[in-house]
Structure 1
């Protein structure tokens, strides 16, 4: 009697990563989270010129939901709460993200676990909030009961003729040159000098789960240095990442991403932005982790913002993938990642951040810093 030996296949191969976790590596989830947030609600910024901010917002594809003398509230076309709050202030800065709780009782549970309190939101949208600080010092709000807007007219994906299937006969294709209407807020990316503590904080307090880990080449034994994190909605699929965190010499906002209808909306919307003098940071291309087609832009206050379409959706059964971090590993196709996108443009400000990081008690040391710099130039 003969037997055939079949090689064991890594379940990640050909799925979303070439490799899965090894024994004793981070599981990518907390066994007993306090709550399970269901989504990002909005992001908050401070900017000195609300008029300029509104002009860019409309050109980028947002709709103004409300405006006061001191704040601008922006929304997208899909139903839900507003997705951006821009407050008037003396200097541009990122305030922090707000996450949606599934139930009002989640706020009570979170407040009890953190020693905070639940309070009413006495501004546009209403609802209730618990205000927290993550280990990096970034303010994090968790909200419930905020007013949800009905849908607005959106852009319809254009019908495509493909090799074996024609949907458009005796008709031309003309993508309108107009703003790519934002459908929803997708994700925010944050940098931290204390990666592991910050990662574990979000997994424990908000019940988020990791989709993919990145590690420094040759230093996997030291643990991951970036995590793409999604909301745990059980069997309901969620974005590959609602939050991404990476180790770096800076702390705070890196970029935020907003979904549009399709590639034509993204590309034509980019042409519209270019005609109005805005600066593309990187794109157009398709990512590896998350698979999104992307296009990155700088707003007038130099915040990095992304149009994306066609991203991955995972339910809670998929375990984290692992891959080496590199600049070339950020995209399947597209132009090389720019120094502007990577935050690697030499400047006195960057040097000050590096020196500060090396003086503090955190996860940045000279060897890791050198490996990070090598990864972002590879």
Structure 2
């Protein structure tokens, strides 16, 4: 059907009666991700990988590591010493101090002072998947650091580079900022509604199982609602699955050369590529995915889409082949479909619980990941 989505970001819009991609009256509207929190058993090993991946160290204590990008702002990642290596949860930025009061009142929470470097005040919540979510305001910003040079490209009718060769430096891709986090949940509809209703986020794209569209979407790419100011195509992505928790996080670098040269540097340091280099469909980012020493997946990206509040959700069928416009075939490692005892336990648990996973849904997801 012809819609405003033609030649934009999706060939399809919603069918009559399908769910909207935003709440009518959200509690607040967050501006962005502030940072992500992890626990690691070894901070020294975590810092070594962080340097190879392209982070700068903003601060460190005996029990915590604060990683940042080159752009001014708060830290991108907080890693605390813990008994196991795991993702803890996301921290979002509130637009105003009074938003914290409104949020705490609506959710039965408390506004507290942050003990992290940079200070600020925070409200601690949990989403319906059980993931801790914090919202912060007033945290101090780290000043800008030197940027990775962007190479001058000879494109179009007027070349700009004459008598000069291109040689990207053999160095890590310098992370500029945190872009997004992707989470898996067995309670997709409830969790999605929570982020729309509570944090005021809006959906850029829905994915659905091709033969189960009547049951609703199974993935949502969600951005911050900044009104007329453009925001990343997605700051958060949620997808239905038998697990619950972290899938990957993504960090912007300067350009495609930074993605590629940074990947070559990571490989030279013995790190493991998951999938890439390619260009995504939803969001259009040039991507490259890697595993850290604890097998957590992290993405370098460049050149992502930016939408303001006027763009309504696109709708597209979910498939493995639909994840990229170009690049190598998607790997089973990226899809999380490698057989393992942990995956089997997740499937058994999901089928026993009261959630949105049932046998037809599970079979539909498996079919989509083979498509």
TM-score (norm 1): 0.97
**Residues in 2 aligned to 1:22 and 1:96: alpha-carbon distance in whole angstroms:** 34
Alpha-carbon distance between aligned partners in 1 of 2:71 and 2:116, rounded to the nearest angstrom? 22
Structure 1 SS opposite 2:260? helix
Q: Which runs of 4+ in 1 moved over 4 A?
A: none
Q: Which residue of the partner structure matches residue 328 of structure 2?
A: 335
| Alignment partner, residue 147 of structure 2 | 154
Tell whether 2:366 aligns with 1:362: no
Give the aligned CA root-mean-square deviation in angstroms.
0.7
2:10 paired residue among 1, 8, 17: 17
Residues of 2 paired with 1:216 and 1:9: CA distance? 21
Equivalent pairs, count? 371
**Cα distance in 1 between the residues matched to 2:329 and 2:115:** 45
Q: Where does residue 19 of structure 2 map in the other structure?
A: 26
Provide the residue aligned with 2:63 in structure 1. Answer: 70
2:317 aligned to which of 319, 324, 327:
324
How far, CA to CA, are the matches of 2:173 and 2:120 in structure 1? 30
Q: Structure 1 unaligned runs (5+)?
A: 1-7
- Tell me the residue number matched to 1:3: none
> Aligned with 2:242: secondary structure?
coil
Structure 1 residue aligned with 2:174, among 173, 181, 189? 181
Quote how far apart the aligned CAs of 1:217 are.
1.0
Contact 2:31 2:95 (8 Å CA) reproduced: yes
1:162 deviates by 1.6
Aligned to 1:208: 201
Whole-angstrom CA distance in 1 between matches of 2:71 and 2:283: 21
- Displacement of 1:10 after TM fit? 1.6
Secondary structure of the corresponding residue to residue 49 of structure 2:
helix
Q: Is the 8 A contact 2:278 2:287 kept in 1?
A: yes
- Give the one of 164, 167, 186 matched to 2:157: 164
Q: Does 1:108 align with 2:101?
A: yes
Q: Which residue number corresponds to residue 272 of structure 2?
A: 279
* Correspondence 1:300-319 to 2 at 5 A: 300-319=293-312
How far does residue 157 in structure 1 lie from its aligned partner after superposition?
1.3
Deviation at 1:11, TM superposition (A): 1.2
Measured in 1, the distance between the counterparts of 2:158 and 2:361 equals 50
1:247, CA displacement in angstroms? 0.1
Partner of 1:60: 53
Q: For residues 222 and 292 of structure 1, what CA distance do their matches in structure 2 show?
A: 29
The structure 1 residue matched to 2:38, chosen from 41, 45, 48, is 45
- Alignment partners' CA distance in 2, 1:63 and 1:163: 35
Please report how far the alpha carbon of residue 377 of structure 1 lies from its aligned counterpart in structure 2 after TM superposition.
Answer: 1.3
SS in 1 for 2:39: strand
SS at match of 2:16: coil
SS where residue 348 of structure 2 aligns? helix
2:56, 2:16 → 1: CA distance? 48
In structure 2, distance between residues paired with 1:42 and 1:30: 24
8 A contact 2:2–2:12 mirrored in 1: no
Residue 243 of structure 1: aligned partner: 236
Cα deviation 1:82-135 (Å, max 9, x = unaligned)? 110000011111100000000110000000000001000122121000000000
Partner SS for 1:376? helix
Alpha-carbon distance between aligned partners in 1 of 2:15 and 2:342, rounded to the nearest angstrom: 38
Secondary structure of 2:370's aligned partner: coil
Structure 2, unmatched stretches of 5+, are: none
TM-score (norm: length of structure 2): 0.99
Instruction: Measure, in 2, the Cα distance between the counterparts of 1:349 and 1:152.
Output: 41
Q: Distance in 1 between matches of 2:183 and 2:12?
A: 24
